Amino acid sequence: MSDTALLAALLAGIAGVLAGRAWAAARRRGGSSDRPEFRSSPHYSQGLHYLTQGHTALAVSELSKVVREDPDAVEVSQVLGDLLREVGQVERAIAVHQGLLARNDITRAERAHAFASLGTDYRKAGFIDRAKRTFESALEIDAGNIHALIGIEKLSEDGGQWQEAFRVQTRLARLRKTDDTRVLAHLQAELGQQAMRAGELDAAERAFRAALALDRQVFPAHLGLADLYAVRDPAKAAEVLERAVELVPERAYLAFERLDRLFTACGDPARFTQLVERIIRQDPRDWRARLALARRLSSEGRGDEALGLLRRAAEVAPHVLLIHLEVWRALRSRGLDPAAVDSYIRSAEESVFYRDPHICTACRYRADDMLWRCPHCHQWGTYVEERVAPTASSG
Ligand SMILES: [Zn+2]
């Protein structure tokens, strides 16, 4: 859930609480008013309006006025603090949330929520230890506080504490009744990598297998498993990767280098050629398969065929420097044949170049590399490669 969606849900919840409170207050007073004072403030309705329109900074300005007029508007302070953090005014957010916690007239639920919000402020400000302690304070009051659990899970991910992240994510999935198996599988794959780096090979294998049992599409777990087997049993490692390529063809290229090496180690390099040829037939726009095949052909002295493949690869992915480098290598090996060089320059001139070809399908964040966890929206497995087509030359 995005921060804004979280706020919307929060507001809906608050509206319910407010109605209940106002009703109780009206009964106590025996009066006719069924709303707390601040709700009749024009700044309050204007603030809500801005919030629904996504004008966060304007909403902050209006809700600040409400809180100034009516310091007892606890719920508004809570939302205001969260909004301040969202617009980057973390110091002010911290002050607002601390102010709430200093009050002795707020409910347990409000206190837990204020702790969770303050923890999120601290995390954003980079005070990691303080954030963790504050989230724990929230959980001491309310062990099922989703906001605090999310905070702790993210802190664990940031710190590479994958076991803890996995434990908290499992709890979150149960509490929210969401299907988080893909995230859990990625966390297991990270655990596997960590164990492998530490030389704990059995633990690594268990983690990779656990990841794949959760979600067979989680490619890094296949890669990790293959790396575990590569030295003592290259045939088994190749088998793991062939299965991975079948299961997740769009990630196949991540296994090309390993597969080329493994098939060669097994004494069967032709099997690699067959594999990439099959992938090219399935997806003629797959430039990585063409590049991989071109490299193999070049190494076998078949430069003409390699150049043909590379030219086609450059047409579908003109932004990729690797292709152009490989073209130059192939051209050089043919003594820079003028006709071949001319033909390459002509096709390059007609191409449009792009940067950062990988994009997050959740938040559109771009990156040079293929990432498993988006650094912007923190979702797992959302990165794809943007396939660009060359546009016609505009002259
Ligand atoms: Zn993202």
CA–centroid distance, 183 to ligand 1, in Å, is 14
- Write down the pLDDT at residue 219: 96
CB atoms within 10 A of CB 54: 9
Q: For the segment 146-174, what is each residue's pLDDT rounded down to a tens digit?
A: 999 999 999 999 999 999 999 999 999 99
> Is the pLDDT at 245 greater than 50, yes or no?
yes
CA–centroid distance, 319 to ligand 1, in Å, is 22
Positive or negative, the CA dihedral 370, 169, 187, 131 is positive
Is the separation of the CB atoms in 320 and 288 below 8 Å? no
CATH 1.25.40.10 domain locations along the chain: 1-176, 179-265
- Write down the pLDDT at residue 348: 77
Closest CA to 227 of 186, 253, 197: 197
> Is the pLDDT at 77 greater than 90, yes or no?
yes
Is the separation of the CB atoms in 39 and 66 below 8 Å? no
> Is the pLDDT at 11 greater than 70, yes or no?
no
Helices and strands in the chain, H and E counts: 19, 3
- Write down the pLDDT at residue 370: 83
Q: What's the CA dihedral at 144, 146, 148, 149 to 10 degrees?
A: 80
CA–centroid distance, 368 to ligand 1, in Å, is 14
Distance, CA of 258 to CA of 269 (rounded, Å): 12
Q: Could you give the percent of the chain with pLDDT greater than 90?
A: 60
Q: For the segment 170-194, what is each residue's pLDDT rounded down to a tens digit?
A: 999 999 999 999 999 999 999 999 9
Both structure tokens of 176: 């929210």
Is the separation of the CB atoms in 165 and 153 below 8 Å? yes
> Is the pLDDT at 27 greater than 80, yes or no?
no
CA–centroid distance, 363 to ligand 1, in Å, is 4
Distance, CA of 47 to CA of 391 (rounded, Å): 46
User: Residue 358 forms beta bridges with which residues?
Assistant: 367, 385
CA–centroid distance, 198 to ligand 1, in Å, is 30
Q: For the segment 225-236, what is each residue's pLDDT rounded down to a tens digit?
A: 999 999 899 999
> Is the pLDDT at 12 greater than 50, yes or no?
yes
CA–centroid distance, 130 to ligand 1, in Å, is 26
CA–centroid distance, 359 to ligand 1, in Å, is 8
CA–centroid distance, 326 to ligand 1, in Å, is 32
- Write down the pLDDT at residue 95: 96
CA–centroid distance, 384 to ligand 1, in Å, is 11
CA–centroid distance, 355 to ligand 1, in Å, is 17
Q: For the segment 331-380, what is each residue's pLDDT rounded down to a tens digit?
A: 888 888 888 888 888 877 776 555 567 889 898 888 878 889 998 988 99
**If you ran DSSP here, which 8-state letter would residue 54 be given?**
T
In the CATH hierarchy, which fold is given to the domain comprising 179-265?
1.25.40
Class of domain 1-176: mainly alpha
CA–centroid distance, 374 to ligand 1, in Å, is 5
> Is the pLDDT at 4 greater than 70, yes or no?
no
SS3 at position 219: helix
Positive or negative, the CA dihedral 165, 167, 169, 172 is negative
- Write down the pLDDT at residue 233: 95
CA–centroid distance, 383 to ligand 1, in Å, is 8
Is the separation of the CB atoms in 226 and 255 below 8 Å? yes
Mean pLDDT, all residues of the chain:
87
Please compute the mean of the pLDDT values over residues 97-110 and round it to a whole number: 93
Residue 298: pLDDT band with limits 50, 70, 90: confident
Please compute the mean of the pLDDT values over residues 265-273 and round it to a whole number: 91
Architecture of domain 284-351 in this structure: Alpha Horseshoe (1.25)
CA–centroid distance, 278 to ligand 1, in Å, is 32
Q: For the segment 195-204, what is each residue's pLDDT rounded down to a tens digit?
A: 999 999 999 9
Distance, CA of 221 to CA of 204 (rounded, Å): 10
Q: For the segment 128-150, what is each residue's pLDDT rounded down to a tens digit?
A: 999 999 999 999 999 999 999 99
